[in-house]
């Protein structure tokens, strides 16, 4: 099956390159070119198989939300020269992931069912079930690791370690709540519930701006709103559109990213299922039909589009 596993371009004026879990980032003097590959990660590990169209889907969902949110939070995006490419401002990353949770799910639920009631210094109420809404959204930050696992961190630890100043932390929190409120509103309009997500920020010309993707299935969890209350009252699993089903498949096949565990090989049928799930989310959250870009000569297509963008800029 066709998929973008990695890229190896050299663009005029290129000063560096960074291969992330999913994105290949090309640094130029004053901007970055980000190519969304079809790699998929879970439990902070990149899986062996790439997922067809995943990169295009993530790139176009991120563009959808970055464009919608630019009036409330400044962001890095300036152009999308290709379905798999974003271009924009180069920023110095703040080494935090601003995780925000409106509902008890995922990592927070796994901690909760082990009896923990405090996560990242934030107290979670007793008597909650998986999928219950918090009284109000909570921010549970994580350190942004260059390699390996991101680690939960509290507000007190962030300030004690001088990762950001008090004023910067207050701004990061406000931006995070504002973005989550917008994302929740846009999700509700499409029959979805934005359960939890994460945002990343950086410094550009002395200003804090939003960087990376937002509200994609790699960084977010969505529930289907229709029937949510009934499923909660019956103690049933919520229907969701996210990457959680990939994590669940990995756990069922003996992998949770822990030392000594062997990564299972995903069969073609499951890879195709992941593609279908990502397309479903794209169409559900954006209200647009997903148009598959051709994989024929895709390296040439991307390189040509980026070079044309850089020449015209």
How many CB atoms neighbour CB 153 within 10 A?
20
CA distances in angstroms from 45 to 1, 150, 183, listed in the order given: 21, 11, 27
Q: Which residues of 282-295 are buried (b: 16+ CB within 10 A; e: fewer)?
A: beebbeeebeebeb
**102 phi/psi in degrees, rounded to 5:** -95, -20
Consecutive H or E run containing 125: none
Residue 270: its H or E element: helix 268-286
Adjacent-strand bridge partners of 9: none
d(C-alpha 74, C-alpha 64), whole Å? 15
C-alpha to C-alpha distances, 203 to 24, 86, 164, nearest whole angstrom:
20, 18, 11
Taking the C-alpha atoms of residue 214 and residue 34, their distance in angstroms, rounded to an integer, is 14
What residue ranges do the domains of the chain occupy?
A: 93-245
Altogether, the residues listed in the chain come to a count of 313
Tokens of 42: 């879970």
Residue pair 134/196 in contact by the 8 Å Cβ criterion:
no
And the tokens for 62? Answer: 């991120």
CB 168 within 8 A of CB 175: no
For residue 43, the Cα-to-chain-centroid distance in whole angstroms is: 13
Distances (CA, A) of 8 to 12, 22, 23: 13, 14, 12
pTM of the full predicted structure?
0.88
pLDDT at 1: 60
Tell me 225's DSSP state.
S
Query: What is the reported pLDDT for 148?
Result: 54
For the domain with range 93-245, which CATH number is right: 3.30.470.20, 3.90.1260.10, 3.40.190.10, 2.60.120.10? 3.30.470.20
Q: Cα-flanking dihedrals φ and ψ of residue 26, to 5°?
A: -105, 120
Picking from 42, 282, 271, 285, the residue whose alpha carbon sits closest to that of residue 182 is 285
User: Residues in the chain with pLDDT < 50?
Assistant: none
Strands 220-224 and 192-204: antiparallel
What is the CB neighbour count within 10 angstroms for residue 156? 10
Residue 63's pLDDT is what? 96
């Amino acid at each position: 099956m066709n998929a973008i596993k990695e890229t190896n371009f050299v663009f005029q004026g290129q000063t560096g390159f960074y291969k992330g879990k999913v994105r290949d980032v090309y640094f130029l003097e004053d901007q970055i070119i980000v190519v969304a590959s079809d790699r998929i990660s879970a439990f902070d590990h990149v899986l062996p198989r790439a997922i067809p169209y995943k990169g295009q889907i993530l790139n176009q969902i991120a563009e959808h939300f970055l464009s919608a949110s630019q009036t409330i939070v400044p962001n890095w995006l300036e152009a999308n020269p290709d379905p798999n490419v974003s271009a924009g401002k180069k920023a110095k990353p703040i080494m935090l992931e601003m995780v925000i949770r409106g509902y008890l799910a995922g990592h927070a639920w796994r901690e909760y069912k082990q009896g923990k009631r405090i996560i990242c210094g934030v107290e979670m109420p007793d008597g909650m079930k998986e999928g219950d809404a918090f009284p109000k959204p909570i921010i549970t930050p994580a350190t942004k690791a260059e390699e390996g696992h991101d680690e939960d961190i509290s507000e007190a630890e962030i300030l004690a370690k001088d990762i950001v100043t008090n004023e910067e932390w207050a701004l990061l929190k406000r931006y995070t709540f504002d973005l989550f409120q917008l994302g929740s509103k846009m999700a509700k309009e499409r029959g979805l519930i934005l359960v939890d997500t994460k945002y990343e920020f950086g410094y550009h010309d002395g200003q804090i701006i939003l960087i990376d993707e937002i509200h994609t299935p790699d960084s977010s969890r969505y529930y289907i709103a229709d029937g949510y209350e009934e499923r909660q009252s019956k103690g049933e699993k919520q229907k969701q559109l996210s990457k959680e089903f990939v994590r669940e498949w990995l756990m069922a096949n003996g992998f949770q990213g822990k030392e000594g565990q062997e990564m299972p090989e995903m069969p073609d049928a499951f890879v195709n299922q992941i593609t279908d799930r990502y397309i479903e989310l794209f169409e559900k959250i954006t209200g647009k039909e997903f148009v598959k870009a051709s994989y024929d000569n895709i390296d040439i297509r991307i390189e040509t589009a980026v070079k044309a963008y850089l020449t015209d800029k």
